[in-house]
Amino acid sequence: MPYPGFFHKVSHSDVLIVQDVTKFDERFSNRNKIISSTEWTWLTVPIKKNHKDYLLKDVQIFNDLKWNKVHRKKLESAYNKSNFFNKYNTDLNLILEQKWEMLLELNMTIIKKINDWLKIKTKIIYESELGIEGEATNRLINICKAVNADVYLSGDMGHDYLNEELFKQNEIELRYQNYTPKQYNQILSREFIPNLSIIDMLSNIGHEEVRKILN
């Protein structure tokens, strides 16, 4: 359940390339933050032993732990008194009640559902479908060429690692995302906590207002 900045980037793109053949990123691939009575808490999907070294598309969920019940309980505890949570809770429960084997399948099901709520029509392509080669910036350029993209939209952190000259040489415009968290009233919090899962924003202000912010 990514943070709003992810959906801001997706909503300003024609195509989202899911990099499913890159190494699993344990920072956020299987977890994100929501509000709690003690500021915030993680929602974490447990993965099988040693799968931190796997490609994202191959990471399996460790279902011996009843993580989905914990997620549902935490979400309801955090947002059952918010103004809009009931609009989304039924769909979330239908997803979380299923038994998921692969982390990527769960993640993309949730992302596509949130895209539906926000009326985001961005096309989704998996990198594994493209047969891409190369490393670092060269790989990103090859992805752009594979889908005939003339603009690459990077997160702001791209300043730290992208080779901007390579984009110029390949006549691909490099743009950096300009996303600043906008404050809104959060249930359970006296001071605004930025960059929680987009579920927090949806539950508190609803998808119509979220769409205005992302646009």
Confirm if 149 and 16 have CB atoms less than 8 A apart. no
pLDDT number for residue 26: 86
Other Cβ atoms less than 10 A from the Cβ of 5: the count is 18
In single-letter form, the type of residue at position 89 comes to N
Residues whose CB falls within 8 Å of the CB of residue 144, separated by 6 or more in sequence, listed in order? 150, 152, 170, 172
Maximum CA extent, the chain: 53
pLDDT number for residue 76: 97
Q: Output phi, psi for 113, to 5 deg.
A: -65, -45
Structural domain boundaries in the chain: 4-214
Kind and range of the H or E run holding 209: helix 198-214
Per-residue pLDDT of the chain (215 residues; tens, 9 = 90+): 999 999 999 999 999 999 999 999 988 899 999 999 989 999 999 999 999 999 999 999 999 999 999 999 999 999 999 999 999 999 999 999 999 999 999 999 999 999 999 999 999 999 999 999 999 999 999 999 999 999 999 998 898 999 999 999 999 999 999 999 999 999 999 899 999 999 999 999 999 999 999 98
Euclidean distance between CA atoms 32 and 103, whole angstroms = 14
Q: What angle do CA 91, 98, 209 make, to 5 degrees?
A: 20
pLDDT number for residue 93: 96
At 201, is the secondary structure helix, strand, or coil?
helix
SS (H, E, C) 134-193: CCHHHHHHHHHHHCCCCEEEECHHHHHCCCHHHHHHCCCEEEECCCCCCCCCCCCCCCCC
Euclidean distance between CA atoms 166 and 171, whole angstroms = 9
pLDDT number for residue 190: 86
Euclidean distance between CA atoms 172 and 149, whole angstroms = 8
- The pTM of the full predicted model, rounded to 2 decimals, is 0.94
